[in-house]
Amino acid sequence: MKTPPKVKRCGGYALLLAAAVLACAGGTARAQSTVTMFGLLDAGLVRESGGASGPSTRVSSGVANGSRLGFKGSEALGGGWSAMFMLEAGIQLDTGMASQGGILFGRQSYVGLASPFGSVTVGRQYTPHFDTLALADPFSSGQVGDAKNLVPGTGDAYTRMTNAIKYASGVHGGVSAELA
d(CA 70, CA 86): 7
Give the CA radius of gyration of the chain.
25
CA–CA gap between residue 131 and residue 163 (Å, rounded): 17
pLDDT of 3 reads 56
What b/e string do you get for 122-137 counting C-beta neighbours within 10 Å, with b at 16 or more?
A: ebbbbbbbbbebbeeb
Phi/psi at 2 (5° precision)? -80, 145
Give me the numbers of helices (H) and strands (E) for the chain, helices first please.
4, 9
Looking at residue 159, what is its pLDDT? 84
Indicate whether this model's pTM tops 0.75.
no
Q: For the chain, what are the domain ranges?
A: 32-179
Walk along the chain (180 residues) and give the pLDDT tens digit of each residue.
555 555 444 444 544 444 444 454 444 455 678 999 999 999 999 898 888 888 999 898 888 788 999 999 999 999 999 999 999 999 999 899 999 888 999 999 999 999 999 999 999 999 888 888 777 777 666 666 666 666 665 556 778 999 999 999 988 888 999 999
User: Which CATH fold would you assign to the domain 32-179?
Assistant: Porin (2.40.160)
Residue 118 near residue 167 (C-beta atoms within 8 A): yes
| Model pLDDT, residue 32 | 78
